[in-house]
Structure formats: structure tokens, C-alpha cells
Structure 1
Amino acid sequence: MSDSPLAVTIAGLTFKNPVIPASGTFGYGLEFLPFFDLSRLGGFCTKGLSPSPLKGNPPPRIVETPAGMLNAIGLQNVGVRAFVAEKLPHLRAYDTHVIANVFGFSVEDFLEVVAALNDAEGVAAYELNISCPNVKEGGTQFGNDPVQAARVTEAVKRLARRPVIVKLSPNAPSIVEVARAVEQAGADAVSLINTFVGLAIDVHTHRPRLGFMTGGLSGPAIRPLAVRMVYEVSQAVRIPRIGMGGIATWMDALEFILAGATAVQIGTINYTEPQAALQIIDGLGAYCRERATTIAALVGAFRP
């Protein structure tokens, strides 16, 4: 473990700080090079990677809502092989953990992506997106059912040569039960929460404002719900938790850490403030110095 007060360990990986831009909001990392050095980050999650390229959903894909947004991007991506050949070589120049977000419409899809990544240099861990709410199949099937979630987790763990993080859905009947199921199936950590399913209607046309109709609600509006779910899951499982959902400031991030998250992911705020991750890192650092404490000591320090 590093001597830095911000350093944390998840699944045997030491992160220089607990701040990780979230999948789907940070591209492949390279898009943010004009704004800051990626080496400042503890790590980041790539866009979701599938066996073959996907074009995603028809536009409109994003709708602004009070204190957040709805998105229905539809997991557009270049495909895992293009990522390994065209994106990953550039990322190796930066001292940060690259977490490959993996998704599929079947267990076999997940395994195909992980197999393509296993031999790729520069990937630190896999994050299984079993919970995307804005595709027609796949995400709901796995993320809402503890049995299905455990099945895909166990299959990937047998194949994976790197730690496996499972991303949980707030739309599951019981996110705690899904967390327990994937822990028992061998997951090294969980990340939570993904977006809530929402709908926005154009009152002039009486039509949905998104081309896909429904989308995933993210942003500050969901933060109290996310903090509550991180706390509940933290009481139920022993594996590390990575918290996310509406984080915009270091104080928001600290809420998740106090609730039981070892690290946090930063999502929607990246669209409006590309340097938000650095501001959160700096804020957490100042807090730890003022209190003569560490992030590791603050994990789960909430006192009900």
C-alpha cells in the first residue's frame, strides 16, 4: 500500500487515489487528454466493450432533466478488438489503472470480450456491466436476477486473468441479493449503482424525448438513493464496493466512502466539468490532511 493518505486497495490493486471516472462518461480515456494528465487518476473505466462494434441507439440519445440527465446511448463502441489494437497502446503511457468495462447479450458474449482482453497489456481489471437499462436485451436479464448475475460472474471468473468487478443495477428487486449472489460466485468487487430507468415525454408532440423511449437517469438527483444502496450493500458483503451516482464534489464522494465505498466513480459531471475528477481528488486530499486521516480509515466510518 502506498504511503499516500488517498491510496486504497481493491482486489489486490493499489489505487493512488479513490477517484475513477465511470464507464460511458469518459470515452476511452484518450478523449480527456486535452484537459489533464490521466496519470493523476486512480483509474478509469472504459466505454463498454462488446465482441463486435455497435452503433448504439437512434437519436435523440440524451435529455437534460432537473438535477441530472436521461441517456439512451445504447452502448455504442468500437468493439473489443479495435480497442485493444487502436486505443489501449496509447493508454499504456499513463500511470493509472485501466478498467475495461465489459458487456454482452449472452454469457458467451462476456466470455468472448474477456478472452480478447486477457492477453492485452495494460488492462488492470474487468468491470462487468450486467445492468445497463437502455438496451433491448442483456442488461436487465443479468442485472435484475441474482441467479443470472451469479451465472455470468462465475463464468467470467473461470476465464479472467484479472480482477472482476460486477456493476450492479438499482432497478433490481433487491440489489443486496444480487450483490450477495455475485460475491458467492467469486466477484472480487462490486460497483454501484448504474442508472435508474426513466421516461421523459415531449408535451408538445406527446412523444418520448429519447429515440429509444426510456433511458438511464443519472446525476445529482439520484445521489441519496445511491448512497443508501451503497450503505446497504456494504452491510451485506465483504468484497470491496465502488460507489457512484450523482457525485459532483469531493463532499459527495466522501458520502459514498463513509457509507462503505472503498473508491468512487465519477460520471455525469464529466460532461459539464471535464476536470471534476481532479477537483475531487484535491478536495479529498485536503480533507485528509486537515483531519490527519486516510481514505482507507474513512471507508465505512458512517455512524447511524
Structure 2
Amino acid sequence: MTAAAGTGPDMSVDLAGTVLPTPMMTASGCAANGREIHRFIDITDLGAFVTKSVKADPVSGRGTPRMAETPSGMLNSIGLQGPGVSAFVERDLAWLHSVGARVVVSVAGNTAEEFAQVTAAVLDSEHRPAVAAIEVNISCPNVANRGLVFACDPSGARDVIARVREVVPAGTGIPLLAKLSPDVTDIVEIARVVLEAGADALTMINTTLGVAIDTDRLRPHLAAATGGLSGPAVRPMAVRAIWQVVGAMRAGRLPRVPVVGVGGVRHGRDALELVAAGASAIQVGTAAFNDPTAPSRVGRELTRLVAERGFDRLGDVVGIAHERFDS
């Protein structure tokens, strides 16, 4: 059905009980903690601002060089550099609260207990009213299990979500988003595990591991050798992951929960592709490095595309590619 003349489609999103006015978010780690990108766009106009992943204690990050350009993307090996949760709450979350932003706090840790500790510190603060959701970045190495990345290990992923769920009981109005890695054999299985452990929604995907070689020096560009690949090159992987997981939901193999799509979104058409595959909301990351207005611009482009296709609501487009593929 076509939207009434003079009005646009309803772009609001119900993110597991938290209603956002638009589907657009920043992606964790790509807009610092708000002040920098706020000079270019009003972050309160976004559905939510997603913070850089925060850990319990200050982290200096990895050695340099930390970033390398790749065809249609980039590698980063920052190492979750940050001031620790106490400084984050006192400075960054306080500022985000003061400007009226809806905040998705990305939490990280070396152990399941650290994830829970960080989450508790955020929610015990006076700035809790600004927190729209907690995004659990399980793409961290588990120091208690030979450095195996939590998101690549069903047992580790389950433990983290279960521990965070203990400090954010269901019904608090703050949904838990589990951010999944594409570097697994079966992402549907990881999704099943985190949903069973208490996740309310899924964010897909995090970066995928890559290496770039400097052909002059004949050694890796990055000091750590490996880094996370992001940008347009990974968008088909993001679409694939969303397609598979949402397909499993539609088939009854997983409970139906919202999916936040992220990976290589530069334009409205990119966002629409993720929505049609099953994403209810969209995060914009790498594109903001060369266009800080991208999270807002992509939202406007997506709104126009939804209207041009005759839909009254963004929700009517979510997962529509499955319906049209099956028909």
C-alpha cells in the first residue's frame, strides 16, 4: 500500500521492546564515543548511537600500524583501545546522556565475568536512562580458553550471554544484542546458542579476519599481522549471514528476534539489501571514515527507497526477499 500523499513511511523499529524512531545506528568502533561525529550530524536524530566496545580496565591497544586499506574495504587491528568502564561512564556516557542520545553500549571482556562486570557498571550508573540496549561484542578472545574467540565457540558464546543476562534480567526494558562473527562454520548454530542463553536480538556481522602483505617490504602491513576486514567487500557476507539466520527463524529452527544488520553499508540500497534479507535495523561503520554524515544520509536514502517501492512501513520490507524467493 502506498503511503498517503505528503507523508513518508513509518521507519520506526521495535528492537525487542525498545522502540527506535529510525533504523539507523552507528557501528561500534567507527564513531568513537559520539563527540567527534556529533560535529557532522546530530546523533540524537539516529535510532541509536553505538559506542566503542568498552572493557573493565583501560586498554592501550595494539602496536602500530593498526590500519591498512584493502580493495573495497580496510583492515583494522586497534585492539579495543579504551579508557575502561569507569572513565567511559563518567565522561562518554555522561556526555551522551546530556545531549539526549539513545545509546547502545558495546561491552567486551577477556572473560565472561568481565562482560558482566562492565555491563553492571554501566547500568548501575546515573546515566542508565540513556541506555537503549547492550550490545555484547563476543568477538573477543577468551583468555581462559587458549584465546579462542567467544563468538567462534558455542560454549564460550553461551557463557558470556548467560552471565550478562544475570545482571540484566529479562523485563528491564534493556535488550541484549549478541554481535556475531562471520568466521564460523555454522552461524545459525551460534545464533541458536546465544538466543538460548538469553540474547534478545542479534547484530550481524562483525569484521572477518584478514591479512594484507606489503609487497615492497614483503611483510604484513599490520603490526599484529591479522586484522578485521570491513567495508563494502564484506557486505555479501553480511547479507548471507542474515539470510541464513532469518531463514532458520522463518523455518521454526530459531526463535524470531530482531536482527541488526551491519557490514559494508555505504548507500541506501546497501541498507535495503540487508533489510530485505531480514534486518530490522542498520548500522553504518566504515563508510563514516570518509563521510561522517553517512549514518544519517543512508537513513534518508533508505526512507526514500522504501517510499518509492510503495510501502507504508519499513517493517513491511523486513525479510521480504524470503517471501519472494519462496513464492
After TM superposition, the score normalised by the length of structure 1 is 0.94
Structure 2 residue identity aligned to 1:32: I
Distance in 2 (alpha carbons) for counterparts of 1:228 and 1:186: 24
Structure 1 residue identity aligned to 2:137: N
2:21 maps to 16
Do the aligned residues in 2 keep the contact of 1:131 with 1:140 (CA within 8 Å)? no
Distance in 2 (alpha carbons) for counterparts of 1:150 and 1:226: 22
Do the aligned residues in 2 keep the contact of 1:149 with 1:178 (CA within 8 Å)? yes
Distance in 2 (alpha carbons) for counterparts of 1:138 and 1:31: 36
After TM superposition, the score normalised by the length of structure 2 is 0.88
* Residue 75 of structure 1: how far off its partner (Å): 0.4
2:105 maps to 100
Structure 2 residue identity aligned to 1:151: D
Q: Is 1:74–2:79 an aligned residue pair?
A: yes
Instruction: Spell out the pairing of 1:1-304 with structure 2 (5 A cutoff).
Output: 5-120=10-125, 121=127, 122-132=130-140, 140-160=148-168, 161=172, 162-236=174-248, 237=254, 238-290=256-308, 291-302=310-321, 303-304=324-325
Structure 2 residue identity aligned to 1:168: L
Residue-by-residue CA offset, 1:193-225 (whole Å, 9 max, x unaligned): 011110011112221100111000010011111
Do the aligned residues in 1 keep the contact of 2:107 with 2:134 (CA within 8 Å)? yes
* Residue 132 of structure 1: how far off its partner (Å): 4.3
Q: Are the structure 2 counterparts of residues 138 and 231 from structure 1 closer, same or farther at C-alpha, using a change threshold of 3 Å?
A: farther
Identity over aligned residues, as a percent?
A: 43
Q: What are structure 2's unaligned runs of at least 5 residues? A: 1-7, 249-253
**Count of paired positions:** 301
Residue-by-residue CA offset, 1:152-202 (whole Å, 9 max, x unaligned): 111110112531110000002211100011111110101010111100111
Bigger shift: 116-125 or 252-261?
116-125
Residue-by-residue CA offset, 1:260-283 (whole Å, 9 max, x unaligned): 001011110010110011111111
* Residue 97 of structure 1: how far off its partner (Å): 1.9
Who wins on radius of gyration, i.e. which is larger? 2
Do the aligned residues in 1 keep the contact of 2:258 with 2:280 (CA within 8 Å)? yes
Do the aligned residues in 2 keep the contact of 1:105 with 1:138 (CA within 8 Å)? no
Structure 1 residue identity aligned to 2:315: A
Structure 1 residue identity aligned to 2:239: V
Q: What are structure 1's unaligned runs of at least 5 residues? A: none
Distance in 2 (alpha carbons) for counterparts of 1:218 and 1:141: 18
Structure 2 residue identity aligned to 1:259: A
* Residue 138 of structure 1: how far off its partner (Å): 8.5
Structure 2 residue identity aligned to 1:30: R
Distance in 1 (alpha carbons) for counterparts of 2:187 and 2:144: 21
Bigger shift: 124-133 or 68-77?
124-133
Distance in 2 (alpha carbons) for counterparts of 1:265 and 1:137: 30
Query: What CA RMSD, in Å, does the superposition of the two structures yield over aligned residues?
Result: 1.8
Q: Are the structure 2 counterparts of residues 9 and 46 from structure 1 closer, same or farther at C-alpha, using a change threshold of 3 Å?
A: same
